[in-house]
């Protein structure tokens, strides 16, 4: 029979070809796998996002992220929350960059993007009343609110934060926040809260500008809030409103009638004179700022104060800034989750809802939030609970590993990372004369690279308010002939605020000069040591090239740095010498006129006739030239 021919398309068994295919497949399986590229190269995500949420943002499968984490020794599920550091690392692995947003910011951004500008409506301004003690802040509010709050307070001094809404003729509203001073205002700003639209600075016409007046000015300026000055007590016989204007203009608040931008209104909380003009001014400033909000969106607010009530549990005074807060709403505030059980207005009456620019007491919190925490109503209850758990854990870790605040010793590191170029200072002195001298001396401490920035200056002991201001401004507190109050010391110790106390002006000046000099990059100073001429070249296996030299001048040591010259052109500069020998022995030093063997670190292209310069380097702090 004739031999059977193979059918068309049939595979022939070729052992050699099969072996080659197996080798090829094995090589492919061992080859490093290129990570999957994210569909979205730029993502916006918040701390505490889950693996699933990150995968959705990147546009890849969640199991890829789980696999990557497993390869790094981390076991994770699809609902595992991730820190921002992990999110950035994983995103970078898949070729994406991350813009960090909090859960609240992300929710607000999504709402803002879907929000129609036509839905925005004008809202009432939120006004904070500040000023020196006993200058009539609360009495002024009494005249506005037609109430008698001041009479009910111990000693006539405000003991707690209060917020109230005043309805004027024509239906226009103003929300007033009355604080015990500027401490609460600063605490809110320390949390990043921008609650206040306008500050009314109350100054008594018979007393003039006082230390707390200046502190209030500094806090308002730091928050970049417009200031309206109410010159109070003009009904008194010894009132000098023009003197107040002069004092304020000397400190940067120039009255409008003198060509400045600050509106100053003379008022009397007792007779009611000027009150109407003050309110008109506030509404005018608010109109210029075009304050608007959308009452139909999910509510956003800020906590003014929080306390534990025996009958009602944790309660918080909140100013609603946007949207409308309803009874029954679920909300997230800092690391606290809750559901609105009841809302009380500024007069203690229950209300069903609170619209934009409304102050209410909120009942229904799981625990106490911090003043300045942002309240956000949420519809994603499960996500909010996860975020709360994540933040609680994060707060515990931060509490255990609390980092120090800025101190003089930390400036050099901050400068190297490009984060700082100035030394912020809160300056307190015993008398005005000393303060004036110190302001003049420290004001001259600057050059084109660094300078002293005085955040606040004042006369008297270092107070808790000074420490709070140093916290928010990352400043160092300097005291001259003064001591910190006990409460200020406790807060400074807790928050790791650097307080420097001095009794001699030149010592204070010297310390700050050294601190500023420390801000400057140190200069690398080079000191000549010796000069060697290369006579012969030796190639040593497993070692490299050794140059046989005669030391023409100076000396060479094991710690010397070297520079190789060829025809007076620098060919190579190395760190410390790889080896220094006399004959076959390692030595620490060779003197002029002696022969030696030199091996340069990381360089072998040495030729006969080359010159090796030997030198030492040291970093020397720059002197501050003022």
Q: Confirm whether 543 is domain-assigned.
A: yes
Question: Which pLDDT tens digit goes with each residue over 339-371?
Answer: 999 998 877 889 999 999 888 999 998 888 877
What dihedral do alpha carbons 28, 30, 31, 32 form, nearest 10°?
A: 140
3-state SS, 364-431, equals: EECCCCCCCCEEEECCCHHHHHHHHHHHHHHHHHHHHCCCCCCCHHHHHHHHHCCCCCEEEEEEEECC
Residues 6+ apart with CB under 8 A from 615: 526, 527, 528, 529, 560, 561, 562, 563
Residues 87 and 150 in one domain: no
Question: Which pLDDT tens digit goes with each residue over 220-251?
Answer: 887 788 999 999 999 888 888 889 999 999 88
Q: Confirm whether 5 is domain-assigned.
A: no
- The residues facing 203 across adjacent strands are 231
Question: Which pLDDT tens digit goes with each residue over 576-616?
Answer: 888 999 988 889 999 999 999 999 988 888 999 999 999 98
Q: What is the pLDDT of residue 281?
A: 92
Question: Which pLDDT tens digit goes with each residue over 158-177?
Answer: 334 467 788 887 778 888 87
Local confidence band at 536 (pLDDT 50, 70, 90 cut-offs): very high
Residues 470 and 442 in one domain: yes
Residues 515 and 528 in one domain: no
d(CA 225, CA 237): 33
Residues 490 and 394 in one domain: no
Which among 290, 324, 341 is the end of a domain? 290
122 compared with 187, residue with greater pLDDT: 122
Asked if residues 302 and 195 have their Cβ atoms less than 8 Å apart, the reply is yes
pLDDT at 573 over 60: yes
Measured on CA atoms in the order 362, 374, 465, 202, is the torsion positive or negative? negative
> Mean pLDDT, to the nearest integer, of 399-406?
46
Q: Within 10 A of 244 (CB to CB), how many other CB atoms are there?
A: 25
Question: Which pLDDT tens digit goes with each residue over 48-79?
Answer: 788 888 888 888 888 888 888 888 878 888 88
Local confidence band at 157 (pLDDT 50, 70, 90 cut-offs): very low
Residues 6+ apart with CB under 8 A from 15: none
In which residue are the tokens 């209410």 written? Answer: 360
Q: What is the pLDDT of residue 580?
A: 93
Asked if residues 353 and 324 have their Cβ atoms less than 8 Å apart, the reply is yes
Residues 132 and 199 in one domain: yes
Local confidence band at 110 (pLDDT 50, 70, 90 cut-offs): low
Domain count, the chain: 5
Q: Confirm whether 259 is domain-assigned.
A: yes
Which among 290, 313, 333 is the end of a domain? 290
Q: What is the pLDDT of residue 178?
A: 66
Q: Confirm whether 107 is domain-assigned.
A: no
Q: What is the pLDDT of residue 159?
A: 36
Closest by Cα among 232, 243, 180 to 201: 232
Q: What is the pLDDT of residue 608?
A: 92
Residues 371 and 449 in one domain: no
pLDDT at 101 over 60: yes
Considering the chain, what is the average pLDDT of its residues? 78
d(CA 410, CA 421): 12
pLDDT at 39 over 60: yes
CATH number at residue 80: 1.10.10
d(CA 326, CA 569): 79
- For 43, the enclosing helix (H) or strand (E) is strand 42-45
pLDDT at 325 over 90: yes
Determine the structural domain holding residue 494 and report its residue range: 408-519
Q: How far is CA 390 from CA 375, 380, 400, 558, in A?
A: 17, 15, 16, 54
Local confidence band at 554 (pLDDT 50, 70, 90 cut-offs): very high
147 compared with 463, residue with greater pLDDT: 463
Q: What is the pLDDT of residue 401?
A: 46
Residues 202 and 282 in one domain: yes
Q: Confirm whether 33 is domain-assigned.
A: no
Residues 180 and 260 in one domain: yes
Local confidence band at 408 (pLDDT 50, 70, 90 cut-offs): low
Which among 290, 312, 328 is the end of a domain? 290
Asked if residues 357 and 285 have their Cβ atoms less than 8 Å apart, the reply is no
Question: Which pLDDT tens digit goes with each residue over 487-532?
Answer: 888 888 888 888 888 877 777 877 777 766 655 456 677 888 999 9
Residues 540 and 604 in one domain: yes
Residues 283 and 390 in one domain: no
Residues 199 and 316 in one domain: no
As a whole-number percent, the residues of the chain with pLDDT over 70 amount to 77
Residues 429 and 359 in one domain: no
Asked if residues 218 and 428 have their Cβ atoms less than 8 Å apart, the reply is no
43 compared with 626, residue with greater pLDDT: 43
pLDDT at 1 over 50: no
Q: Confirm whether 258 is domain-assigned.
A: yes
Q: What is the pLDDT of residue 148?
A: 40
Question: Which pLDDT tens digit goes with each residue over 263-298?
Answer: 999 999 888 889 989 999 999 999 998 888 889 888
CATH number at residue 195: 3.40.50.300
CATH number at residue 372: 2.40.30.10
Half-sphere exposure of 207 (CA within 13 A, CB side): 17
> Mean pLDDT, to the nearest integer, of 173-190?
61
Q: Confirm whether 23 is domain-assigned.
A: no
Q: What is the pLDDT of residue 284?
A: 92
Local confidence band at 150 (pLDDT 50, 70, 90 cut-offs): very low
Q: Confirm whether 14 is domain-assigned.
A: no
Local confidence band at 415 (pLDDT 50, 70, 90 cut-offs): low
Question: Which pLDDT tens digit goes with each residue over 418-440?
Answer: 555 677 889 998 776 678 778 87
């Amino acid at each position: 029979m004739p031999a059977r021919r193979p059918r068309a398309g049939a595979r022939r068994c070729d052992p050699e070809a099969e072996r080659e295919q197996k080798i090829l497949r094995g090589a492919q399986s061992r080859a490093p796998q290129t990570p999957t590229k994210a569909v979205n190269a730029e993502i916006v995500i918040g701390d505490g996002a889950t693996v699933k949420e990150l995968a959705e943002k990147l546009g890849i499968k969640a199991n890829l992220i789980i696999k990557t984490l497993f390869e790094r020794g981390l076991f994770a599920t699809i609902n595992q929350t991730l820190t921002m550091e992990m999110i950035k690392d994983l995103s970078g692995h898949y070729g994406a960059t991350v813009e960090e947003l909090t859960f609240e910011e992300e929710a607000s951004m999504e709402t803002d993007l879907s929000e129609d500008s036509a839905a925005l409506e004008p809202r009432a301004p939120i006004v904070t009343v500040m000023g020196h003690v006993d200058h009539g802040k609360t009495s002024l509010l009494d005249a506005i609110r037609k109430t008698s709050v001041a009479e009910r307070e111990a000693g006539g001094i405000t003991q707690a934060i209060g917020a109230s809404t005043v309805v004027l003729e024509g239906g226009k509203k103003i929300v007033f926040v009355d604080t015990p001073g500027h401490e609460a205002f600063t605490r809110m700003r320390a949390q990043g809260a921008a609650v206040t639209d306008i500050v009314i600075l109350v100054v008594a016409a018979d007393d003039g500008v006082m230390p707390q007046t200046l502190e209030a000015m500094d806090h308002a300026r730091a928050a970049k809030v417009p200031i309206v000055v109410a010159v109070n007590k003009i009904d008194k016989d010894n009132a000098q409103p023009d003197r107040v204007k002069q004092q304020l203009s000397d400190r940067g608040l120039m009255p409008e009638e003198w060509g400045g931008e600050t509106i100053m209104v003379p008022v009397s909380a007792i007779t009611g004179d000027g009150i109407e003009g003050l309110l008109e001014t506030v509404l005018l400033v608010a109109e210029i700022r075009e304050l608007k909000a959308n009452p139909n969106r999910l509510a956003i607010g800020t906590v003014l104060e929080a306390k534990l009530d025996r009958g009602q549990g944790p309660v918080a005074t909140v100013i609603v800034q946007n949207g409308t807060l309803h009874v029954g709403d679920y909300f997230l505030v800092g690391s606290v989750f809750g559901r609105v059980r009841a809302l009380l207005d500024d007069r203690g009456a229950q209300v069903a809802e609170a619209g934009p620019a409304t102050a209410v007491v909120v009942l229904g919190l799981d625990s106490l939030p911090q003043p300045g925490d942002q309240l956000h109503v949420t519809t994603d209850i499960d996500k909010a609970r996860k975020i709360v758990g994540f933040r609680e854990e994060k707060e515990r870790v931060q509490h255990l590993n609390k980092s120090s605040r800025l101190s003089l010793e930390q400036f050099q590191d901050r400068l190297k990372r490009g984060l700082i170029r100035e030394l912020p200072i809160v300056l307190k002195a015993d008398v005005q004369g000393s303060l004036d001298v110190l302001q003049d001396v420290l004001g001259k401490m600057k050059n084109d690279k660094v300078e002293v920035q005085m955040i606040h200056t004042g006369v008297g002991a270092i107070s808790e308010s000074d420490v709070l201001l140093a916290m928010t401004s990352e400043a160092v507190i300097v005291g001259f002939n003064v001591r910190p109050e006990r409460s200020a010391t406790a807060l400074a110790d807790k928050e790791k605020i650097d307080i420097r106390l001095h009794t001699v002006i030149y010592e204070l000046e010297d310390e700050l000069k050294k601190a500023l000099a420390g801000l400057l990059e140190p200069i690398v100073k080079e000191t000549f040591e010796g000069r060697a001429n290369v006579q012969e070249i030796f190639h040593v296996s497993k070692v490299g090239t050794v140059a046989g030299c005669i030391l023409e001048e100076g000396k060479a040591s094991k710690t010397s740095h070297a520079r190789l010259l060829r025809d007076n052109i620098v060919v190579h500069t190395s760190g410390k010498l790889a080896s220094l020998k006399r004959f076959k022995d390692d030595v620490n030093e060779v003197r002029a006129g002696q022969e030696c063997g030199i091996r340069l670190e990381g360089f072998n292209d040495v030729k006969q006739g080359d010159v090796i310069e030997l030198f030492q380097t040291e970093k020397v702090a720059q002197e501050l030239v003022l």
